[in-house]
Structure 1
Amino acid sequence: MIGMKSQAAAALAVTVAGTLAACAQQTDFNQVGCQMAIMLQNSHFDRASQSFKDLSDDFLATYLRDLDYGRIYFTQHDVDRFEKQYGDRLATMLLEKDSMEAATDIYETFVKRVESRVAQANEVLSEDNIDFTKPETIMRSRKEAAWPKDEAEAKDLFRKQVKEALLSERLRREMVLKLAKEQSKEELFKDERSPEDKIKLRYERFLHTVRDVDEEDVATYFLSAVAKTFDPHTDYLSFKQMERFRDDMRNQLVGIGALLQAEEDGATKIMGIVVNGPADRAGELRLNDRIVGVDPNNSGNPEDMVDIMFMKIDKVVDLIRGKEGTEVRLKVEPAGGVPGDSELLVIQRGKVELKDEQATAEVIDRVGEDDEHQRIGVITLPSFYADFDGGDTRCSADVEALLDRLNKEEIDGLILDLRNNGGGALEEVRRMTGFFTKRLPVVQVKNTLGQVQVKESENRRPIYSGPMIVLTDKSSASASEILAGALQDDNRAVIVGESSTFGKGTVQQPMDIGRHMPFFADRQRAGTLKVTIQKFYRPSGSSTQNQGVIPDVVLPSLTDALEIGETYLDHALDHDVIRPAPGFDPSPKSDLFLPHLREMSAKRVEESTDFGYVREDVARETKRRAENEISLVMADREAELKDADKLQHERNAERRKRFADMETTDKKDLTFYKLTLDDAVEDKPMKVFDPAEENSGYMRRAKDKTEELDTTPEWPSGLDPYKREALSIMGDLVDVTRDAKMAGMLKSSNLR
């Protein structure tokens, strides 16, 4: 298994002391930590390069970073104490089944600091004379900042943080008021609290978040920090987190089919409803409704209704999800109703397919050079999903069905869109690569002993063998990089996209910690170690680790100014190179006509107004990040917003005129056909659609005021600059490939 996962960081240990006795007969997380430490030493790919006991300081540093990433809660005094008591002992404490003492102590200190800061925030926000003329600044990023040296410095730093939050909220309201020219301030913000109260509630929500934990939560955060010290993708997953991970991989869950969002005032808001899902079929839950209580078993007893105000969103989700066919009772405040009024809704849980994460396809008929008609297929794959529990869900099967249908549609070229695809199942990418190539090495996998295994594609002949482009960005990671790298090494496809892919070149394997614990130990909630066991290499021998896949045709992107990618992650493994895979025999690179494609693309990009805007934004963001400073002076910030608003207004005015012309041309030159998985499997006829007006049929979504008032025009025909340029490059590739074949046929005829 390969993929990316983000881990939340905050939990409370104040409640831990009171729950230890109740947990006495439950899973012992000191034992879990010991077993995980042993497994890391035995299984991690890079275990031989570092002594476990020498990592104690790193364990502590990672834990502190995860809890207080902005370095605004702990002081240097706190850090000094932690280093003195635990800095060189954490590894030993783990092995001696005594690590939860340190984890709990550090966490209790964190909670005390949060409580103190939130109390301070309430005091600051209750003042009537906050001075927004005083020349003060805060750092944009505190990742490399020093810890506050003492409590006085910490309080001054946090005062500025609160001041900035309030300033930003006031400026946001000014912006909304300016956009909504015909609405009064009272109308616009009648359902909102004052800026001061809004920020108070934001901090109150955070305080509840760090308090709303038990011993298992504290263990999860601490053990996750220990695991991530080995590399960014080794991680500890609690019992519940592993269940969610499996749901994500199988693209299916059992629940009510609603998208939830934590509100600052403590409620949980309905931001989306899956079309034809359980909630949609029940018909009573509406967008923007607010859930304030959940009876997970629909017992009907008032004491069983769980108050979810200020509860962490993942715990709310756990209460609402359950077994298929069971019922959940929700206490809901209806959208637009009288504040405080509520009603009870009962919804039967059911399977919910995450169709936004499924492979989809479309066919674009376009008029090319000399009025030549081209038929371009586009497959979008959000992730390499698969059901690890033996189900039928497999992204390779879905892509195969779409490819078979695209072949029947006689496409001239194929674009495989892997943007924002963070990876997934290794076997799926191995199988999928064979859809486009002859049987060849897909990836080389090296274990900690240096042994290299070559994994080949399955198919003896490809399903699709025509011109092909793979579209990538900085978020294309892991399995996406294997596929893009294999097709690039084989000179089978032209890779187009941002300056590189993410750069994750490692393989993780989930290991059930409970299976390795002593026989009589309680293993029920021991959790899972997702450990890096291998590095993967391209058929050419180069690792994608840190470096990623460099596209053949690079397009400008704002990510060039941002710290996105493996190279920016702590404890990332190094890039290296091994020998090419046995049997690696790439096709001629000349078949891709790369010099010609680059020349044609570079000319279009240079002339593109939208890519020009991107280059301007990159320069501006690079300068801003280098300065790393945010002004707390109202006049300065208003001037910045005025400049940004003027720039946006000028761009929007220019775009509206240009986009109208582009839409007219598109209607003449482009025809779009939608192809769903159901269409492909059931051989239904494709339907013409307008992508500029197409909304996801999978989910109805709520919008906030800012989104509703945003006047930025949509991309013409739904084609953002990257997809539009990929379509143009494909047109060039189809044309030059056809011309080369014609020339070859003519030459062969002349020889005879």
Structure 2
Amino acid sequence: MNHIARIESESVGQFNTKKRQFRRFSHSLQRIFTIKPAEHMRKAPSLLPVAAILALLSATPSPAPAETNYGSIAMNVARMLEGHHYSQQSFDSSMSQRVLDGYLNLLDFNRIYFTQEDVDKFKANYAETLHNYIVTSNSIDPAFEIYDIYRERVQERIDFVAKTLKETKFDYASTDVVTIKRDKLPWPANKAEADKLWLNLIEADLLSERLSDITKEEARVKKAEEKKAKAEKDLAEGKKADEKPAKEAKEATPEKEETPAERVAKRYERLIEQIDENEKEDIANFFLSCIANAYDPHTEYMSPQETDNFRIQMNHSLVGIGALLQSSEDNLAEIHGIVVGGPADKQGELKLKDKILAVAQGEKGEYVDIKYMKLNKIVEMIRGKDGTVVRLKVISADEPDINKEIAIIRGEVELKEKLANAELIVTPPLNGRTKKLGWIHLSSFYADMEGGTVSCSADVERLLRRLMAEKIEGLIIDLRGDGGGSLEEAIKLTGLFIPKGPVVQSKDYRGNIQWRDSENDRPVYEGPLLVLTDKASASASEIFAAALQDYRRAVIVGEKSSFGKGTVQTIIPVDRFMNSGLGMFSLNKPRAGHLKVTIQKFYRIAGGSTQLRGVVPDIIIPSLRDVMEIGEDALPHALPYDTIPPRTFTYATKVPLPFKELETRVKSRLTVNPEFQYITEDTLRLKERIDKNSVSLNEKERLSEIRENKARIETRKEARKERVQKLADAKTEPFTNFRLNLDNVDAPGLTEESKFSEEDTTGMRLAAKEDEEDEDIAADDKKLLPFGIEPFKLESLYILSDLIDLDGNSPKTANTSEIKKPAGS
């Protein structure tokens, strides 16, 4: 199994990056028709999304592609899939159907642009012959043909929207509903049926904007009333009035508000602009991805840029200028963040909120205008080799009337936000005494893809040894949201906590079974241990959690199960197969990309697979995601679950961990904890919404629902205030948190969490968020939770405290002669 280099990093949804990016803009008009997990979970968004890192990549600027033969690339990809994929399935007519279905779903996931007439023609032409175009004719012309028709249909819909917005008046008193998810419904039969569907879609989008305006105005009025009441109270108590709000209100110049119709029209206009930005290479990239995904969800075609992004994810470092960009409202690339200590930061001239107008290579290269250019194209223009110069022409944020030119020497940039970090938590008296607990956050199993020194297991060990030096009594490894990464790192990390022995098994398509052992003679840490998982914990996370569970080494706490990805991928450059005499003379090899292909399945040492089923926690905590379609079993073409014989290994403890007693204590707390009662109530509401799968077009009904929801939130807010006040009145001791990262892990003192800035966490100075009020609300909400700790985290600390107390009288280590095979899988 030495050739297994890594398991890819995955996230909720598990669709490849290009699919997520494509759907993001193609569905931008359907915000009210999509149930988004983020709306129901308090989870901080990433401050450094890989897809948004611009001017940071390490490769040489890619030349403008020659006439690349995408059909030849597709033929090679198909042949590579036949020869390397675990299923060993031929690329035949059955694959033609899968590829076509995947491509149509990629372009029109919610089935609102194509008509059934279109789809019937596509299937008649290509459902059983697409493989012949690819393998025999070295052609992907059908992909371009279908895309052209897709583009026509989108333009027709946009024209229809413009006409409808101009000519149709909606009264929003309808009894009709709109289906939220249409991916299982048929396409509209023809243009007339599409028009009927789109009348409802337009009305729903307009209604959404109207409701947004109404609720914003209600919030504004309420805030003004609260300020007035406070001012009157202060006046009555003889306090000096706060002149700042009045001064700000007087100085503020209100911008002209766009109408709902104007906002809807603008979004549709932007949609077609984004579609038109896709070049031939982009369209080919979409289609090549569908070819790969036809084999299983984790087999992907990766363009050169996606390969760079994958390397960045794994290495957490790159060569560039150290600037994070995002699109501004006027379609310019705006500086959203600057990496502290990076090339741009050291050069000093580039500022947050500066907007880039043009980019030039070297000290004398011509400037290229980048306005309206796709962000990923700007990436390719700004990235380059270490030590080379890139010049930017920017609009200064401080002086908008002045354009300035900035030359920056590219260099290595470390991305710190996703690196392992830790907390030392001193509890109030739990079960009679205070405790020191360690908490390690690991967002991915990162490693240097080129064999360098980047290693998540080494980073975790540094943090762990510091926590042990601080005399922690128990430890939590937080793998929530950790989509995986390097298999080698998963094995090394497991070795920090178990005696020497097997960690994971694997099987290839021939049925050959291999296993990997931990090389550590003894664990680094042998104390009480919890591992936290959720539905987004996948791949390497599942290997780690499953091994510790099988060894009786840790209590796994989390949602109903982890993601369920039990497959191993390797990355192969497509151009490796272009030297095999297959007639690739016209192919631009540097643009050929890579194939990430599933080559094996992995298995627990107890014999069962994590494929589809994931890792089921020992202690299950209720979650909204319990009713969502998240996980391997929700993805098309997922490989099946199976088992292999277990390995022989030594338990870490003589007796099983005290699961029953822990579960009894957890249940007794959850039944009286209002926060988990709220989760249960919200889960039932969410399930009802998902099952209903529709939204009303009646304004009164929708407004009533919104106000009912706001009232529920306010009621909970008041209840939380009362609970927090009771804790304060009882003079309950707080939890004390200290933060550790790889910068301060060896420092002599400890840094309290309150003194740990966002810059300390991310290694980046970020531009202020546009809506600071939302940030204030989030901060206030945290203050209304007991001890300011979110419910899952607080309950995990209680469970660890219970484990420490129950573990006090348990035998710590199994006799080395006591060899066990856990029952079951």
* TM > 0.5 fold call: yes
SS in 1 for 2:476: strand
The CA distance in 1 between the partners of 2:774 and 2:121, in whole Å, is 47
1:96 positional shift? 1.3
The CA distance in 2 between the partners of 1:85 and 1:248, in whole Å, is 40
The answer as to 2:529 corresponding to 1:489 is no
SS in 2 for 1:134: strand
1:140-164 alpha-carbon deviations (Å, 9 max, x no partner)? 1112111111012223323332332
The answer as to 2:507 corresponding to 1:446 is yes
The CA distance in 1 between the partners of 2:393 and 2:197, in whole Å, is 40
Match of residue 109 from structure 2: 69
Query: Per the alignment, do residues 91 and 661 of structure 1 end up closer, same or farther by CA in structure 2, a change over 3 Å counting?
Result: farther
Match of residue 234 from structure 2: none
The CA distance in 1 between the partners of 2:138 and 2:520, in whole Å, is 52
The CA distance in 2 between the partners of 1:185 and 1:130, in whole Å, is 37
The answer as to 2:407 corresponding to 1:344 is no
Pick aligned residue for 2:781 from 713, 720, 735: 713
Higher RCO (C-alpha under 8 Å, 6+ residues apart): 2
The answer as to 2:99 corresponding to 1:39 is no
Pick aligned residue for 1:475 from 536, 543, 548: 536
Pick aligned residue for 1:399 from 452, 456, 460: 460
Query: Per the alignment, do residues 370 and 477 of structure 1 end up closer, same or farther by CA in structure 2, a change over 3 Å counting?
Result: closer
1:255-298 alpha-carbon deviations (Å, 9 max, x no partner)? 343443335653344444434444444555555x3635231427
Pick aligned residue for 1:382 from 424, 443, 456: 443
1:577-598 alpha-carbon deviations (Å, 9 max, x no partner)? 11102x2333457442111111
The CA distance in 1 between the partners of 2:254 and 2:196, in whole Å, is 31
The answer as to 2:298 corresponding to 1:236 is no
Gaps of 5+ in 1: 13-21, 745-752
Amino acid at match of 2:749: P
Query: Per the alignment, do residues 679 and 177 of structure 1 end up closer, same or farther by CA in structure 2, a change over 3 Å counting?
Result: same
SS in 2 for 1:508: strand
Match of residue 478 from structure 2: 417
The CA distance in 2 between the partners of 1:179 and 1:253, in whole Å, is 44
1:681-717 alpha-carbon deviations (Å, 9 max, x no partner)? x353222333898775423353233624636511455
1:240 positional shift? 1.4
The CA distance in 1 between the partners of 2:118 and 2:629, in whole Å, is 29
1:525 positional shift? 0.9
Match of residue 266 from structure 1: 331
Query: Per the alignment, do residues 447 and 571 of structure 1 end up closer, same or farther by CA in structure 2, a change over 3 Å counting?
Result: same
SS in 2 for 1:677: coil
Deviates more, 1:393-402 or 1:348-357: 348-357
Tell me the C-alpha RMSD between the 2 structures: 2.9
Deviates more, 1:202-211 or 1:351-360: 202-211
Gaps of 5+ in 2: 1-5, 26-62, 225-244, 815-825
Amino acid at match of 1:485: A
Query: Per the alignment, do residues 644 and 335 of structure 1 end up closer, same or farther by CA in structure 2, a change over 3 Å counting?
Result: farther
Match of residue 823 from structure 2: none
Query: Per the alignment, do residues 569 and 185 of structure 1 end up closer, same or farther by CA in structure 2, a change over 3 Å counting?
Result: farther
The CA distance in 1 between the partners of 2:396 and 2:697, in whole Å, is 38
The CA distance in 1 between the partners of 2:350 and 2:724, in whole Å, is 38
Report if aligned partners of 2:416, 2:761 keep a CA contact under 8 Å in 1: no
The answer as to 2:45 corresponding to 1:2 is no
Report if aligned partners of 1:201, 1:265 keep a CA contact under 8 Å in 2: no
The answer as to 2:180 corresponding to 1:118 is no
Pick aligned residue for 1:545 from 599, 602, 611: 611
Report if aligned partners of 2:531, 2:545 keep a CA contact under 8 Å in 1: yes
Report if aligned partners of 1:107, 1:218 keep a CA contact under 8 Å in 2: yes
The CA distance in 2 between the partners of 1:320 and 1:173, in whole Å, is 40
1:576 positional shift? 1.4
Report if aligned partners of 2:498, 2:652 keep a CA contact under 8 Å in 1: no
Query: Per the alignment, do residues 332 and 134 of structure 1 end up closer, same or farther by CA in structure 2, a change over 3 Å counting?
Result: farther
1:221-245 alpha-carbon deviations (Å, 9 max, x no partner)? 1010011011101010111111111
The CA distance in 2 between the partners of 1:77 and 1:342, in whole Å, is 54
The answer as to 2:71 corresponding to 1:30 is yes
Query: Per the alignment, do residues 106 and 144 of structure 1 end up closer, same or farther by CA in structure 2, a change over 3 Å counting?
Result: same
The answer as to 2:564 corresponding to 1:498 is no
Query: Per the alignment, do residues 169 and 286 of structure 1 end up closer, same or farther by CA in structure 2, a change over 3 Å counting?
Result: farther
SS in 2 for 1:202: helix
The answer as to 2:678 corresponding to 1:613 is yes
1:524 positional shift? 1.4
Amino acid at match of 1:242: T
Match of residue 750 from structure 1: none
The CA distance in 2 between the partners of 1:186 and 1:445, in whole Å, is 67
Query: Per the alignment, do residues 367 and 113 of structure 1 end up closer, same or farther by CA in structure 2, a change over 3 Å counting?
Result: same
Query: Per the alignment, do residues 71 and 172 of structure 1 end up closer, same or farther by CA in structure 2, a change over 3 Å counting?
Result: same
Amino acid at match of 2:615: V
SS in 2 for 1:690: helix
1:564 positional shift? 1.0
Deviates more, 1:687-696 or 1:59-68: 687-696
Report if aligned partners of 1:74, 1:110 keep a CA contact under 8 Å in 2: yes
Q: TM-score, normalised to structure 1's length?
A: 0.90
The answer as to 2:595 corresponding to 1:533 is no
Query: Per the alignment, do residues 227 and 589 of structure 1 end up closer, same or farther by CA in structure 2, a change over 3 Å counting?
Result: farther
Match of residue 3 from structure 2: none
The CA distance in 1 between the partners of 2:316 and 2:175, in whole Å, is 51
Query: Per the alignment, do residues 188 and 155 of structure 1 end up closer, same or farther by CA in structure 2, a change over 3 Å counting?
Result: farther
The CA distance in 2 between the partners of 1:674 and 1:709, in whole Å, is 22
Match of residue 792 from structure 2: 722
The answer as to 2:148 corresponding to 1:108 is yes
The CA distance in 2 between the partners of 1:336 and 1:624, in whole Å, is 47
Aligned-pair identity (%)? 39
Deviates more, 1:514-523 or 1:417-426: 514-523
Query: Per the alignment, do residues 368 and 577 of structure 1 end up closer, same or farther by CA in structure 2, a change over 3 Å counting?
Result: farther
1:94-147 alpha-carbon deviations (Å, 9 max, x no partner)? 111433111111111111111222222233334472332233321111121111
Match of residue 647 from structure 1: 712
Amino acid at match of 2:604: R
Report if aligned partners of 2:289, 2:301 keep a CA contact under 8 Å in 1: yes
The CA distance in 2 between the partners of 1:24 and 1:362, in whole Å, is 48
1:329 positional shift? 4.3
Task: Within 5 Å, give how 1:497-516 maps onto structure 2.
Answer: 497-516=558-577
Q: TM-score, normalised to structure 2's length?
A: 0.82
Pick aligned residue for 1:146 from 186, 198, 209: 186
Report if aligned partners of 1:56, 1:88 keep a CA contact under 8 Å in 2: yes
Pick aligned residue for 2:292 from 227, 241, 248: 227
Report if aligned partners of 2:370, 2:378 keep a CA contact under 8 Å in 1: no
SS in 2 for 1:373: coil
Match of residue 376 from structure 2: 314
Deviates more, 1:687-696 or 1:475-484: 687-696
The CA distance in 2 between the partners of 1:627 and 1:382, in whole Å, is 34
The CA distance in 1 between the partners of 2:786 and 2:154, in whole Å, is 47
Query: Per the alignment, do residues 487 and 54 of structure 1 end up closer, same or farther by CA in structure 2, a change over 3 Å counting?
Result: same
Pick aligned residue for 1:568 from 626, 634, 659: 634
SS in 1 for 2:590: coil
Match of residue 270 from structure 2: 205
Pick aligned residue for 1:688 from 752, 755, 762: 752
Pick aligned residue for 1:634 from 695, 699, 702: 699
Query: Per the alignment, do residues 335 and 391 of structure 1 end up closer, same or farther by CA in structure 2, a change over 3 Å counting?
Result: same
Report if aligned partners of 1:267, 1:290 keep a CA contact under 8 Å in 2: no
Report if aligned partners of 2:72, 2:139 keep a CA contact under 8 Å in 1: no
Report if aligned partners of 2:655, 2:811 keep a CA contact under 8 Å in 1: no
1:193 positional shift? 3.9
The answer as to 2:372 corresponding to 1:304 is no
Q: How many residues align?
A: 726
Deviates more, 1:323-332 or 1:668-677: 323-332
